[in-house]
Amino acid sequence: MASSSSSSWNLLRFLSAALMVSTAMAAVPRRPVNVPFGRNYMPTWAFDHIKYINGGSEIQLVLDKYTGTGFQSKGSYLFGHFSMKIKLPPGDTAGVVTAFYLSSTNNEHDEIDFEFLGNRTGQPPILQTNVFTGGKGDREQRIYLWFDPSQAYHTYSVLWNMYQIVFFVDDVPIRVFKNCKDLGVRFPFNQPMKIYSSLWNADDWATRGGLEKTNWANAPFIAQYQGFHVDGCQASVEAKFCATQGRMWWDQNEFRDLDAYQWRRLSWVRQKWTIYNYCTDRSRNPVMPPECKRDRDV
């Protein structure tokens, strides 16, 4: 999106947000409870680039020309609801990636990704999602957000059960990955995953395929976090199933599919804000991947 169109994008963003009706949804995941960082998480690298605020109820990740930083959950989980409140770095963030994801640790790993790809000033950042199953990814979808994610905190969530994985932005479903094992597609169900977040330099690919490089004159880049919510079945790395499977709230009937209103909101995201979907990329996938055939409106 060219700089000259940034004002049009801002107007569209404002109008679309204003038109969104805040109707209650029957199958919205439980509201996250704010907890301090240290209860469920710990730093993983570059400890001096993590800043703690208000006793750890808020943290900042700092990226400079020397290093980024990151953190991970203390436990591993099979299924549940996981969320973060994140405020992205402002301004010219080309080349900068802020990631929030779940991942198992073996070679044929499972992974559920939010990746925020920085952009030049005046151009909207891009939210990329991806799902790996059995070590296979290449399921990218990219959207523009209908707000400026650097101006305020917004909640990014994953609902994961035996039936589906749903990506939410402020309770709006932006992506669904259904369990399609009957179609020969692997689904994450027996590998516990830790939760990770990181802020790092990826200017070899993140913005326009690596054409736009990080401008270190704008450093340090700071991502801010609150609401370190974890509501999942904690498991050992050897676990093949969750001991509470079938008894938790996320296993109940209303969370096995989106309701009609949620499907309408997802359709709104796809029609107005999606800029790439691997399901419809015929140059990359001449035959539609099997899991896409079960996805509505593709």
Rounded (10°) CA dihedral 102, 126, 269, 292: -60
pLDDT, position 28? 61
Map residue 68 onto helix, strand or coil. coil
For residue 182, name the pLDDT band (cuts at 50, 70, 90): very high
Specify whether the CB–CB gap between 163 and 257 falls below 8 A. yes
DSSP state of 220: P
Query: In one letter, which amino acid is 177?
Result: F
- In words, the CATH class of domain 34-294 is mainly beta
Q: Report percent pLDDT > 70 for the chain.
A: 88
Domain range list for the chain: 34-294
Report whether pLDDT(239) > 50: yes
Specify whether the CB–CB gap between 232 and 251 falls below 8 A. no
**Window from 127-136, 153-162, 216-225, 228-237 with minimum mean pLDDT:** 228-237
Is this model's pTM higher than 0.85 or not?
A: yes
pLDDT tens string 113-162? 999 999 998 888 899 999 999 999 999 999 999 999 999 999 999 999 99
pLDDT, position 6? 53
pLDDT tens string 281-298? 999 999 999 999 877 655
- How far, rounded to the nearest angstrom, does the alpha carbon of residue 220 sit from its chain's CA centroid? 23
Catalytic center residues = 111, 115
Specify whether the CB–CB gap between 59 and 225 falls below 8 A. yes
pLDDT tens string 42-99? 999 999 999 999 999 999 999 999 999 999 999 999 999 999 999 999 999 999 999 9
User: What does residue 213 show for φ and ψ, rounded to 5 degrees?
Assistant: -95, 160
